[in-house]
Structure 1
Amino acid sequence: MTGQIRSRLAGYEHRFGAMFAEYFRGLHATLDAPAFSRFAPECLELVRDLSLRGGKRMRVALLHEAARLVTTEPLEALDDAALSVELLQTHGLIHDDIIDDSPTRRGGPSTYYAYRERFPDHQQAALGLAVLAGDLAFALCLRVLLDSTAPPAVRQAMVEIQVRAASATFMGQISDIERDFTPLPADDVLHDVAEYKSARYSALATMQLGLLAAGEDPARFEKELRRYARLVGIAEQMCDDYEDLFGDAKAMGKPTGGDIREGRRNYVVSALLTAASASERATVERALGDAAGSEETVAAIRDIAVRRGVQQKLRTDVQRYARLASAEAATWRPRWRDEAVTFFEVMPVWSAQRIMG
């Protein structure tokens, strides 16, 4: 099944990449902006550039596989939903990089830093334009659904799903910042932030859109889908936090230790502060939020994490939540197509193994 997953993911990635590029070509030709404006096309180009630098398009895969729970027939509404899902992702990435003051994203400059380089003497304008680029991506994520040829009821339901998902994400972003004001966040706080910040839009809404496009009413299965999305979201956020300290900077497209420099009290930092000695905690606390923190400092914190078993704890926790998500998906088998259910069973465990090794 792992080979089949890789094959299906590659197929979704290839097909969607071509479709996304074609979407932006059409958008450039029809952009409704003042004729004199140079900034508007540049803004759209930055949104396009970041969008097309996407990775494996896991959200697109979840969308299509959710539809496959019901049918294998081609569904036109899936393409519009896929564009909407990835445009909402672009919106989130642009705003994330503003909040985190991140210079890189997906192996290239973040939208915020692209504007800072474009306007070195007008930093407030650069900030404003980056915010507006994120807002443009969000507006486009809804517009593509409003322009869809799907039946009006389906179109309206898809818009509602995306608006609710975006609202949850905004609450998650606010809670994410609030979490970093807590000396040692409890596990429930970390889990709730993971759910609201990413799982609600990246997993739950994506599955809901896929089922809706296939003619299923996702509201009938709200509890099951939420449980699965939350577990997947927790596992994926743990993976993200793990990679930030222990990952390969070249593969991630950004330096390691970013969360330490930004003062993020995430899963890794919380476990580290719990396990460390008093002197080690002092070392970690001094590094948290130090934007100028050196690679040597990050390496020292990494060594503490390995020595205190934090690295292994995160690996174990990720695998546990991935298995719980898999077990949740297994309960869907009497209701939906076996092959697609198997995808949702295997995907969390495979994803965790791919990152954790």
Structure 2
Amino acid sequence: MNEALHAALQRASRHQRRFETRFAAYFDSLTDPAGGKLETPLHGAFPSRALDLVRDMSLRGGKRLRVVLLNEAAALVAEDGVAGLDEAAISIELLHTHGLIHDDIIDNSPVRRGGPSTYYAYRHEFPDQPDTALALALLAGDLAAFLSLRVLLTSGLPADRALAMAAVLADTGAGTITGQMIDLERDFHPAPDLDFLHAVTEFKSTRYSVLAPLRLGLLAAGADHTPYDTELRRYATALGIANQIHDDWLDLFGDPAALGKPVGSDIRSGRRSYVLRALTAVCDDAERKLLDEASGDPGCDDETLDRIRRIARAHGVDRQLRAEADDYARRAEAEAATWRERWRPEAVAFFEHMPAWSVTRDR
């Protein structure tokens, strides 16, 4: 690992560790009368249980890429100690929690981040009342979404800054929902083209995982992001596609222990991912028949997945996808390099080296 990338990863690790402590403290404050207590009904156990499950899902971790990008975006224009960064980080991670909870409902996923999904936690609690379990999981996801706005609007930041940041978050949330919609729509197409897959990536993940943190970090630091939005979008788009191709690669070729969830979920759900598109393009008739039978079959067993994995490797699909992810990572790196003369060099270097990390991670 080169020295610059090592330094970038060390900075990312510091942001992540600091955030975990701050995020836990935030959830403590929601039940602390002396803090930013969330008013809940005096009667009934369901609201507090929902908050517990939102907390549990949120604190289980994950890459925290959004937190890292947000802090480094502020560092482009300001020294340490920027007010509002903690609130912005909590906000974007709560929006992510909302997305995870609802994704797991849509995908009927039992496991997330090494533990039960929120949906399946409720299914275990209400085994004979599936409609109640579904309703409560939906509401828990909604609670996370509204908390994500609340944390910005009650942050104590100057009103204009808090409103600008909340507007970014609300716009991002709405865009992410439309991305989820076309994510469902792509599976109605036998083989969506790359433009369609890129659109799903942009709206379902890139806008809230990369672009929103860049905008929020600059806003927190007192900088208007709008003059730079075109180049921020170019960076976000390239990094987002690199990330998604790598995520799809991990879903077939990754290590379940490192991922914290089973591999093969895209095939079992019939998702028309970058992997499935690449596989379909090279399979012969017999291989395509196997792939068609497995795709969309929740009961697809590990032996069948192993056969598909061997077919993919025999055709070089694993190498092809890694090369494509690397290409988009290099595009993002090249875009960040154009920022050197305008913004603080140390933060710019971080954005130059982050794409390389994003396509080598194991989860």
Name the TM-score, length of structure 2 as normaliser. Answer: 0.96
Alpha carbons 2:336, 2:348 under 8 Å: kept? yes
Alpha carbons 1:28, 1:41 under 8 Å: kept? no
Q: Which amino acid aligns with 2:226?
A: A
Q: 2:48: which partner in 1?
A: 41
Q: 1:71: which partner in 2?
A: 78
The partner residue of 2:216 within 200, 206, 209 is 209
1:264 aligns with 2:271: yes
The partner residue of 2:258 within 231, 241, 251 is 251
Q: 1:15: which partner in 2?
A: 18
Q: Which amino acid aligns with 1:132?
A: L
Once the two structures are superposed, what CA deviation does each residue of 1:31-75 show, in whole Å capped at 9, x if it has no partner? 322111101100000000000001231111100000000011411
Alpha carbons 2:104, 2:110 under 8 Å: kept? yes
Q: Give the Cα–Cα distance (whole angstroms) in 1 for the partners of residues 346 and 9 of structure 2.
A: 15
The partner residue of 1:114 within 104, 121, 129 is 121
Task: Please state how far the C-alpha of 1:335 moved relative to its aligned partner.
Answer: 1.1
Alpha carbons 2:172, 2:208 under 8 Å: kept? yes
Alpha carbons 1:90, 1:134 under 8 Å: kept? yes
For the aligned residues, what is the CA RMSD? 1.0
1:97 aligns with 2:104: yes
Q: Give the Cα–Cα distance (whole angstroms) in 2 for the partners of residues 238 and 6 of structure 1.
A: 21
Q: Give the Cα–Cα distance (whole angstroms) in 2 for the partners of residues 152 and 159 of structure 1.
A: 10
Q: 1:296: which partner in 2?
A: 303
Q: Which amino acid aligns with 1:208?
A: R
1:330 aligns with 2:337: yes
Q: Which amino acid aligns with 1:353?
A: T
Q: Give the Cα–Cα distance (whole angstroms) in 1 for the partners of residues 295 and 360 of structure 2.
A: 29
Q: Give the Cα–Cα distance (whole angstroms) in 2 for the partners of residues 354 and 52 of structure 1.
A: 20
Q: 1:32: which partner in 2?
A: 39
Task: Please state how far the C-alpha of 1:355 moved relative to its aligned partner.
Answer: 4.0
Alpha carbons 1:145, 1:158 under 8 Å: kept? yes
Q: Give the Cα–Cα distance (whole angstroms) in 2 for the partners of residues 48 and 349 of structure 1.
A: 31
1:144 aligns with 2:147: no
Once the two structures are superposed, what CA deviation does each residue of 1:16-40 show, in whole Å capped at 9, x if it has no partner? 1111111101112323221111011
Q: Give the Cα–Cα distance (whole angstroms) in 1 for the partners of residues 84 and 318 of structure 2.
A: 42
The partner residue of 1:4 within 7, 18, 24 is 7
Task: Please state how far the C-alpha of 1:78 moved relative to its aligned partner.
Answer: 0.6
Alpha carbons 1:142, 1:162 under 8 Å: kept? yes
Once the two structures are superposed, what CA deviation does each residue of 1:203-257 show, in whole Å capped at 9, x if it has no partner? 0011000001111100111100111111111011111110000000011111111
Q: Give the Cα–Cα distance (whole angstroms) in 2 for the partners of residues 222 and 31 of structure 1.
A: 35
Q: Give the Cα–Cα distance (whole angstroms) in 2 for the partners of residues 176 and 165 of structure 1.
A: 16
Q: Which amino acid aligns with 2:11?
A: R
Q: Which amino acid aligns with 2:173?
A: A
Task: Please state how far the C-alpha of 1:333 moved relative to its aligned partner.
Answer: 1.2
Task: Please state how far the C-alpha of 1:14 moved relative to its aligned partner.
Answer: 1.1
Q: Which amino acid aligns with 1:157?
A: A
Alpha carbons 2:77, 2:343 under 8 Å: kept? yes
Q: State percent identity of aligned pairs.
A: 53
When the two structures are aligned, how many residues end up with a matched partner? Answer: 356
Structure 2, unaligned stretches of length 5 or more?
Answer: none
Name the TM-score, length of structure 1 as normaliser. Answer: 0.98
Alpha carbons 1:9, 1:56 under 8 Å: kept? no
Once the two structures are superposed, what CA deviation does each residue of 1:142-199 show, in whole Å capped at 9, x if it has no partner? 0000101111110000010001111110111000010011101101111111011000
Once the two structures are superposed, what CA deviation does each residue of 1:87-134 show, in whole Å capped at 9, x if it has no partner? 001001001101100000001000000000010000010001000000
